[in-house]
Amino acid sequence: GAGVSQSPSNKVTEKGKDVELRCDPISGHTALYWYRQSLGQGLEFLIYFQGNSAPDKSGLPSDRFSAERTGGSVSTLTIQRTQQEDSAVYLCASSLDSATQYFGPGTRLTVL
Amino acid sequence: AQKVTQAQTEISVVEKEDVTLDCVYETRDTTYYLFWYKQPPSGELVFLIRRNSFDEQNEISGRYSWNFQKSTSSFNFTITASQVVDSAVYFCALSEDRDDKIIFGKGTRLHILP
């Protein structure tokens, strides 16, 4: 069956550019989460959506990071004015019962 | 504050040996969930198991087994008769509410040598 999908799988950008990362959750999953994985910090929570609203944005590292979710489905994570420390793998997860999260393959972001 | 500690950074064992991955957690909540995820070289996080705090029964799934002990705040994972395909990074994780973010440990990199 279809799992969580993310695009692009790889993104290389120059410092200062904006990037958009996309997540398609498992069909019917109401909860959606963004995490990032980097060598120094491990796996970190960024933001959580229930439907289209985001009750927990506590993990967003700065105001350069934002995310939205439309139609209770697809979500976009936007990073403005990218910095080298933003380089990481960005992981999306979705959940039906809000307890078990299923992860996508991630987007590897490299900021030059 | 919630925290997950995986003290073993890296483990190497020879194929067919048994191996246990340790996990210790901290939480002030009485209701919480514990998880194990596997991250093979391909990079995708694969869900293995979820336990809630009220269910201390140990679980076995094929060659995998999990030992949950609230008294020691531990949730250890054992692979019996390890295989090369078990080589991966394994993450123990905790969430304090059904809708809550997952807090991950740093992971244990497991090498199964042929």
Using a CB–CB cutoff of 8 Å, tell me whether A99 touches chain B.
yes
pLDDT above 90: residue B113: yes
Asked if B91's CB is within 8 angstroms of A43's CB, the reply is: yes
pLDDT at residue B98, as a whole number: 62
Q: pLDDT (tens digit, 9 = 90+) per residue, B25-46?
A: 999 988 999 999 999 998 899 9
pLDDT above 90: residue A8: yes
Rounded distance, CA A60 to CA B13, Å? 38
Q: pLDDT (tens digit, 9 = 90+) per residue, A53-96?
A: 888 888 999 999 999 998 889 999 999 999 999 999 999 999 98
Chain B residues whose CB is inside 8 A of the A23 CB are: none
- B109: nearest Cα among B91, B94, B93: B91
- Cβ contact A34:A56 at 8 Å: no
Q: pLDDT (tens digit, 9 = 90+) per residue, B45-66?
A: 999 999 989 888 888 889 999 9
pLDDT tier at B2, thresholds 50, 70, 90 = confident
In B, residues 60-79, which contact A (CB 8 Å cutoff)? none
Q: Tokens standing for A69?
A: 């979710």
Asked if A101's CB is within 8 angstroms of B102's CB, the reply is: yes
Asked if B95's CB is within 8 angstroms of A103's CB, the reply is: no
Give me the percent of chain B exceeding a pLDDT of 90.
Answer: 77
- B103: nearest Cα among B8, B25, B47: B25
Element (H, E) at B4: strand B3-5
Please give the residue of chain A at the shortest CA–CA distance from B31.
Answer: A99
Contacts of A24 (CB under 8 A, 6+ apart): A4, A5, A6, A7, A73, A74, A104
pLDDT at residue B99, as a whole number: 63
pLDDT at residue B92, as a whole number: 97
Rounded distance, CA B109 to CA B106, Å? 10
Q: Tokens standing for A3?
A: 């799992």
pLDDT at residue A1, as a whole number: 55
